[in-house]
Chain A
Amino acid sequence: MRAAAETLLSVRGVETYYGKIIALRGVDLEVSRGEIVTMIGANGAGKSTLMMTICGDPKPRNGQILYDGADITAMPTHEIMRLGIAQSPEGRRIFPRMTVMENLQMGASLVDPSYFEDDLKRVSELFPRLKERLHQRGGTLSGGEQQMLAIARALMGRPKLLLLDEPSLGLAPLIVKQIFETIRELNENEGLTVFLVEQNAFHALKLAHRGYVMVNGNITMSGTGAELLKREEVRAAYLEGGRH
Chain B
Amino acid sequence: MASSTTRVKTSDEKPAGDQAEQASRGHAPRPAGPDGGSRFQNSLRDAAMAAFLVAVLGFFFIGLRTDIAPGGLDIKARWTAWIVSILVVFGGRLALNLFVFKAERPVTVGLGAQISAVGDALPGLGKWLVRALLAFALVLPFFFMTAFPGKERQYIDLAILIMTYIMLGWGLNIVVGLAGLLDLGYVAFYAVGAYSFALLAQYFDFGFWMALPLAGLLAAFWGIILGFPVLRLRGDYLAIVTLAFGEIIRIVLLNWYQFTNGPDGISGIPKPTLFGLEFSRGDDGFAAFFGLDYSPIHRFIYLYYIILVLALITNVVTIRLRKLPIGRAWEALREDEIACRSLGINTRNTKLTAFAIGAMFGGFAGSFFATRQGFISPESFTFIESAMILAIVVLGGLGSQIGVVVASVAMIGGIEMLRNLGFLSQIFGSGFDPVQYRMLIFGLAMVLIMVWKPRGLVSTREPTAVLKEKKLIDAEAVAQGEGH
Contact = CB atoms under 8 A, between A and B. Distances in A.
Contacts of B65: none
Report whether over half of chain B's contact residues are helix, strand or loop; otherwise say mixed. Answer: loop
Given A94-B339, A98-B335, A136 B478 contact: no
A135 B328 contact: no
Given A78-B341, A97-B335, A136 B480 contact: no
Contact of A96 (B335, B343, B463): B335
A30 interface: no
B332 interface: yes
B108 interface: no
B467 A134 contact: yes
B331 A98 contact: yes
A153 interface: yes
Contact of A95 (B336, B346, B464, B473): B336
B475 A97 contact: yes
B483 A55 contact: no
Given A77-B341, A92-B483, A109-B329, A135 B467 contact: yes
Contact of A91 (B345, B465, B484): B484
A101 interface: yes
Report which residue of B339, B467, B482 has the largest number of chain A beta carbons within 10 angstroms of its beta carbon: B339
A106 B343 contact: yes
Interface residues of B, number: 36
A153 B344 CA distance: 12
Nearest to B481: A96
Contacts of A99: 463, 465
A47 B40 CA distance: 61
Interface in B300-346: 325, 328-329, 331-332, 335-336, 338-346
Contacts of B473: 135-137, 140
Interface residues of A, number: 38
Nearest to B470: A135
Contact of B345 (A109, A137, A154): A109
B480 A97 contact: yes
Interface string B457-479: 00001011111001111010111
Contact of B342 (A55, A134, A140): A55
Contacts of B342: 55, 77, 81, 87, 89, 93
Interface string A58-100: 0000000000000000001110011000110101111111110
A27 interface: no
B338 to A, nearest CB: 6
B345 A78 contact: yes
A124 to B, nearest CB: 10
Nearest to A106: B332
Contacts of B480: 96-97
A51 to B, nearest CB: 10
A217 interface: no
B261 interface: no
A43 to B, nearest CB: 17
Contacts of B472: 135
A57 B472 CA distance: 36
Interface of B: 325, 328-329, 331-332, 335-336, 338-347, 461, 463-467, 470-473, 475, 477-484
Given A77-B341, A106-B343, 12 more contacts: A55-B341, A55-B342, A89-B342, A94-B336, A96-B335, A96-B479, A96-B482, A106-B328, A109-B325, A135-B471, A140-B473, A146-B484
